[in-house]
Amino acid sequence: MRVTAEGLDFDYRSWGHRGRKKVLDALTWTVEPGVTGLLGPNGAGKTTLLSLIVTLLPVRGGRLLIGEHDLATGTGRSRARRELGFVPQRFSLAGELTVADTVAYAAWVHGLDRRVCGEAALRALESVDLAGLADQRTRSLSGGQRQRVGIAAALAHEPRVLILDEPTAGLDPGQRLRVREVVAGLGEDRTVLISTHLIEDVAHLCSRIGVLAGGRIEFQGTFPELEALIDDTSGSSAYGSGFERAYDRLIARVGERP
Ligand SMILES: Nc1ncnc2c1ncn2[C@@H]1O[C@H](COP(=O)(O)OP(=O)(O)OP(=O)(O)O)[C@@H](O)[C@H]1O
């Protein structure tokens, strides 16, 4: 299932908040099935775009479609919500609940019949490789395990589109790798869109990449295509030369393109 933005505008002022005039400016982009990375400098509007996609913010200008469902209409939004799973940048888990109950509750909130929520939770936990911890209380989990519980909770109602806002931020390298492996598997039969600052994530995970800058998708393509934007004369590759510096260079190069 595709996510399609056509001429999408957004500003927080018309939404009653203080802030910069335009965050998204006639943004046009199609996210295809598989894992797509959304990159961009701090404050570029990545979380805003994800919030519009998952219907947390209203579409006021342009069009946004989840498959055929147009988020500008009430019917479109409610149909789209069944197809959407979302893991926000920060979320909290009720520490006293077990892992299985946490995910079963999320399934129930997403409208599944109470009688099938337990089964749905186990399926989702298997897909993030956490079925072995089903009976453990969430307060005893590591950061990476918590993140995987969050992903399972977003998956339990079997959405075809999964949106992850910085899923590996704050994790240690081992946990990051584990979350990455899980996300890669999920992209085999879904549309997965992840926002990230980590060039390692996009290098290892994303079949397609979009770079958000100046309110628009300034670059779309594969990681090697993005890498090719780095100055050839620097003689270094994005992946091999210090991730953060390389990331800044990549983003700067995208912004400089004619
Ligand atoms: N609720 C809000 N009210 C007013 N302005 C906001 C609000 N949320 C975000 N903004 C502003 O909108 C712009 C885009 O923010 P957003 O969080 O979408 O960017 P981002 O690319 O996700 O940033 P980061 O990489 O730092 O997470 C920023 O200038 C931010 O200050």
pLDDT per position in the chain (258 positions), as tens?
Answer: 999 999 999 998 766 666 667 899 999 999 999 999 999 888 889 999 999 999 999 998 999 999 999 999 999 999 999 999 999 988 888 878 899 999 999 999 988 999 999 999 999 999 888 999 999 999 999 888 999 999 999 999 999 999 999 988 878 888 888 888 889 988 888 999 999 888 888 888 999 999 998 899 988 999 888 877 765 435 454 544 444 555 666 666 665 654
At residue 233, the pLDDT reads: 37
| Ligand 1 center to 129 CA (angstroms) | 33
Q: Would the CB of 22 count as within 6 Å of ligand 1?
A: no
Distance of CA 13 to the CA centre of its chain: 25
ipTM for the complex shown: 0.97
What is the per-residue pLDDT for 176?
Answer: 86
Report the DSSP pairing between strands 34-39 and 3-10: unpaired
Where do the structural domains in the chain lie, given as residue ranges? 3-90+164-256
CATH for the stretch 3-90+164-256: 3.40.50.300
pTM over cut 0.90: no
Tokens of 217: 């998708």
C-alpha 26/C-alpha 216 separation (Å) is 7
Q: Is 20 in the pocket of ligand 1 (CB under 6 A)?
A: yes
Number of Cβ within 10 Å of residue 94's Cβ equals 12
